């Protein structure tokens, strides 16, 4: 690899070519979707992608809203991931996983990192070229931070609502195969811990975790969709009806505070974003 290739490492320009190749391969049935894993003990390899079979990818695919999905033409893949990251952090519920977008970004990060390592080892590189290499490395680390935070946010929600996830078919369509397996293991370990610690000593009528006591919170933790969120309209939205006498029409650029349940479908369709 020549030193001149350093100047060509423009993230947006190079990524457009890489993304179009990945999208085309996905249309041919060769999409590189996979399960994500984080290894905090190795900073150089703390973001890895395990390849998954086509059947696993099909089961893990989120709810399809593609026909009405609204994405601005000038949005780069990194901008899209940043938007999904912010939505995931602010939403009380688990949003559909972005496997294909993450897989393509991780593949680009891997190739950029390999290129940087090769160029850093060239003894004939000038000081200016080393500065360019450092800038590329900083950009790669910035993208890694967003990917890590996005995955960890989803992991936090999956562990918090693990028992609910295993009983709700709708929310299972929003998570990947790996996330569902983690939720199942976490729920099983939690149930066994509670049983060995407390429940086995209680009367049989009180030794369950799925009871619905009167005037008490439910035993299974569920996402609180009534929690208010700040919403920013990306385009003119259909009227939002709170009740018979109150309707809100959000125009592009409008910001409102309202319960998450009223704008969930608009968020999934890309009409709004959370801020």
Give the model's pLDDT for residue 35: 33
Burial of 197 (0-12, 13-18, 19+ CB in 10 A): exposed
Give the model's pLDDT for residue 244: 81
Give the model's pLDDT for residue 210: 74
Nearest Cα neighbor of 270 from 68, 63, 70 is: 70
Give the model's pLDDT for residue 74: 61
* pTM for the whole structure: 0.70
d(CA 108, CA 157): 27
d(CA 207, CA 192): 12
d(CA 245, CA 183): 41
Please enumerate in sequence order all residues whose Cβ is within 8 A of that of 205, keeping only pairs 6 or more positions apart, or say none: none
Give the model's pLDDT for residue 38: 34
How much of the chain is in helix, strand and coil states, percent to nearest 5?
A: 55, 10, 35
Q: Give the pLDDT means over successive 10-residue stretches in the chain (275 positions).
A: 42 48 40 34 37 38 34 72 96 94 91 86 81 89 94 96 92 94 94 84 76 74 93 94 88 94 94 95
Contact 263, 240 (CB under 8 A): yes
């Amino acid at each position: 690899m020549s030193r001149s290739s350093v100047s060509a490492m423009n993230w947006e320009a190079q990524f457009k070519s890489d993304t179009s190749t990945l999208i085309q391969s996905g249309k041919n049935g060769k999409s590189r979707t996979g399960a994500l894993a984080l290894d905090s003990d190795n900073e150089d390899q703390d973001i890895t992608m395990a390849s998954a079979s086509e059947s696993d990818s099909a089961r893990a695919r989120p709810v399809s809203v593609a026909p009405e999905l609204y994405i601005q033409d000038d949005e780069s893949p990194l901008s899209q991931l940043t938007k999904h990251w912010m939505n995931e952090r602010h939403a009380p519920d688990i949003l559909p996983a972005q496997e294909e977008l993450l897989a393509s970004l991780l593949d680009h990060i891997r190739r950029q990192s390999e290129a940087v390592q090769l160029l850093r080892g060239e003894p004939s590189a000038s000081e200016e070229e080393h500065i360019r290499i450092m800038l590329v490395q900083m950009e790669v680390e910035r993208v890694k931070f967003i990917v890590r935070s996005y995955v960890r946010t989803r992991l936090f929600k999956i562990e918090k609502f693990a028992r609910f996830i295993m009983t709700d078919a709708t929310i299972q369509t929003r998570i990947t195969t790996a996330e569902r397996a983690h939720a199942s293991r976490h729920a099983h370990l939690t149930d066994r811990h509670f049983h060995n610690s407390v429940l086995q000593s209680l009367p049989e009528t009180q030794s369950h975790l799925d009871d619905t006591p009167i005037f008490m919170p439910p035993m299974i933790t569920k996402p609180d969709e009534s929690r208010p969120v700040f919403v920013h309209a990306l385009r003119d939205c259909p009227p939002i009806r709170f009740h018979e006498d109150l309707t809100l029409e959000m125009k592009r650029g409008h910001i409102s505070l309202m319960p998450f349940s009223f704008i969930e479908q608009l968020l999934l369709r890309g009409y709004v974003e959370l801020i």
